[in-house]
Amino acid sequence: MAVNGAASGVLGVLAGWLMHHPQEELWLWLGVGFTSSLSTFSTLMVDVTLLLRNGHRQEALGLAGASVVAGYSLLALGKVLGEALAP
């Protein structure tokens, strides 16, 4: 969950900064390339699936929910930071 949160935060900073400096190629390399390789969304889905298969529904829901909330929160925070860094 920490790596997914970090990827969301980095993506938010890039989105906030690139809103003021639109560069499609930079967005593709950093936004899509770097942060998607940093993110471990597939591992999260495997963890949730294993928890569900082993009868741990509450833990699976908690992990999925916490990941979504943390990821979106860090994305929004990163976007604000990226906008603040843009001249």
The pTM of this model reads 0.67
Residue 77 has pLDDT above 80, yes or no: yes
End-to-end CA distance of the chain: 32
Residue 15 has pLDDT above 90, yes or no: no
Query: What residues contact residue 80 under an 8 Å CB cut-off, 6+ apart?
Result: 12, 16
- Specify whether the CB–CB gap between 11 and 31 falls below 8 A: yes
Residue with tokens 């935060």: 9
pLDDT (tens digit per residue) in 19-73:
777 777 777 777 777 777 777 777 788 889 999 999 999 999 999 999 999 988 9
Q: How far from the centroid of its chain's Cα atoms is residue 14's Cα?
A: 12
